[in-house]
Amino acid sequence: MRENLHRFFRAARGAGVRLSPAESIDAMRAVAKVGFSDRAILRDTFLLTLAKTQDEKKALGDCFDLFFDQPEPSQAAPDDGDADDSESGTETTESGSDSAGGGDEAQDLGPLAQMLLSQDRNEMAAAIANASSAASLSDIRYFTQRGIFSGRILDAMGIQRLRDDLDDLTATNPALAERLTAALDGLRDTVRDTVSQALMLYGREEAENLRNEILRNAPLSRIEPRQVEQMRQLIRQIARRLRERYSKPRKRQRRGHLDVRRTLRRNAAWGSVPFLTAWKRKHRDKPKIVALCDVSGSVARVSDFFLLLIHSLHEVVSDVRSFAFSGHLIEVSDILEAKSPEEAMAEIMAKVGFGSSDYGGSLADFEKQWMSAVTPQTTVIVLGDARSNNLDPRADILRRIGERSKRLVWLNPEGRMAWGWGDSEMPRYSTFCTVVRQCATAQQLERAVSDIVATYQ
C-alpha cells in the first residue's frame, strides 16, 4: 500500500498539486490513522492534508477518483448452448460441459486460461494489478507507449502459454477454444482501459511539459484562439519562475552582508562575542519600468502576453507603468491592476487597439503628458514592430527618452530580416536604444524580461 501511495502522490503532482516530501509524509501518517476501509474518509483525508487551494482540491479529488477507480474486468457472456446445458443438467459426465470449464481439458490448461474460464472478477483484477506492477506501468509517459505497456502486462500474465492452449484447444475442443478466445478479448479490453487510465494519471505532467515546450517556441502572433488560455497559463508560470529567481536575492540584499570588522569592534566589551551585529548594505536602485506597447493588429497578441508577464512580477518590480498605443497613446496601468487579463485587454483594445500604427504621434503623446515618469532609475521598454505606416517616426523623441532613462530596450516581434524593409523604422530607432532584441516567442520574451530584471539585482 505504501508503494500505491507513492504512485498516487506522483499522479497528484502530475495533476498540478504541489506536494513537498514533508506534506507527503504528513498525508501518510494521517492515512495510517484513518485506514483504507472507508473510501470517502480516505478521500477527505487527502484533501485536508495535501490540497492548499480550491483548484488543487478539485484536481486532487479528480485524481483520487481516477486512481482508485480500477477498470472492471470484462466478463464473456455465455452462449445459448451453454445456458441450455446448464439448465438441463444432463452434461455431468467426465468429459464435462462448457459451463464446467471443459472438464479434464480445462485442468490441463495454464493458469491464465483457467482464470479466464472461471470468470472470477476479483482474481482477474488482482492478476492485472500484479502484472501492471511487474510491467512498471507507472513509468508510462506518452500515448505512443500504450501498446508497449499493454503487451508487457499480458506477457506478465502468461499470454504466451494462453496462445499455446488456444492452439491445442482449436484442434481438440473448438467450442471451449471459442469461449476462451472471447474471454481473452475481454481481458485485452480491460488491460487497454487500465493502461489508458495510467496514462491519464502518470503521463499528464509529461504531456503538459511537451505542450508547454511547443508553446514556448511558437510565434505569439500566430497563437490560435483555443490556445490563448494555455499561453496565459504558461506566461503565469514564467512569471512565477522569475519571481522565485529574483525575489529571494533582493530580500538578502535588503538585509545586507555581515560586516565582520564593525561587529567585532561593537562587541569588544563582551570579548568580541557577537551579541550585536553590523551589516554592510549596498544601495540598489528601486526597479522602475515604463512599458510602451503597440496594440495595433499586427502585434496586439504579443502585447497581451507581455503586459500580463510584466504585471505578474509585482514581487520583483513594484513600480510598473504601462502604456498602450496604435494611433494614439494612453496609460493602462490602472486597467491591468483592477481587472482580469481578459477584461483588461478587451477594454484596452476597445480604446486604442487594432488601429493603424502611428509611432510618431504616440511618442509625442507620451512626451507631452508622461515624460516626467522617466528618471535615471527607469528602464523604458518599447514593444512593437516599428512600422509607422510612412508617417513621421519622431526618432528625436525616442532619443530624449533614452537620454533621460537608465536603459531603453526595444523588443520587436518581427524577424531581424524584416527590419528596415517597407515602412519599418527599426534601424533609425535602434540607434538610440540600449538593447534591441527580437521577441516573437514566449521563450524570447522570458529571456528579455529576465535580463531586464537582473540589472536591478
Share of the chain above pLDDT 90, in %: 17
Q: What is the pLDDT of residue 74?
A: 58
Q: What is the pLDDT of residue 194?
A: 86
Q: How confident is the model at residue 283 (pLDDT cuts 50, 70, 90)?
A: low
Q: What is the pLDDT of residue 76?
A: 52
Q: What is the pLDDT of residue 403?
A: 94
Whether residue 102 has pLDDT greater than 60: no
For residue range 56-82, list pLDDT tens digits in order.
888 888 888 878 776 656 555 444 444
Whether residue 323 has pLDDT greater than 60: yes
Question: What are residue 280's phi and psi, to 5 degrees?
Answer: -90, 130
Pairwise CA distance, residues 71 & 192, whole Å: 10
Question: Residue 219: CB partners within 8 Å, gap ≥ 6?
Answer: 413, 440, 441
Q: What is the pLDDT of residue 401?
A: 95
Q: What is the pLDDT of residue 456?
A: 64
Q: How confident is the model at residue 434 (pLDDT cuts 50, 70, 90)?
A: very high
Mean pLDDT computed over 144-161? 89
Pairwise CA distance, residues 434 & 409, whole Å: 6
Q: What is the pLDDT of residue 93?
A: 36
Mean residue pLDDT of the chain comes to 81
Pairwise CA distance, residues 299 & 13, whole Å: 36
Q: What is the pLDDT of residue 70?
A: 63
For residue range 106-133, list pLDDT tens digits in order.
667 888 888 888 888 888 888 888 888 8
Whether residue 356 has pLDDT greater than 90: no
Q: How confident is the model at residue 98 (pLDDT cuts 50, 70, 90)?
A: very low
**CA 432 to the chain's CA centroid:** 39
Q: What is the pLDDT of residue 365?
A: 94
The pTM of the full predicted model, rounded to 2 decimals, is 0.60
Determine how many CB atoms are found less than 10 A away from the CB of residue 206.
14
Best-predicted range by mean pLDDT among 82-96, 285-299, 325-339?
Answer: 325-339
Which among 427, 456, 15, 2 is positioned nearest to 242, based on CA atoms? 456
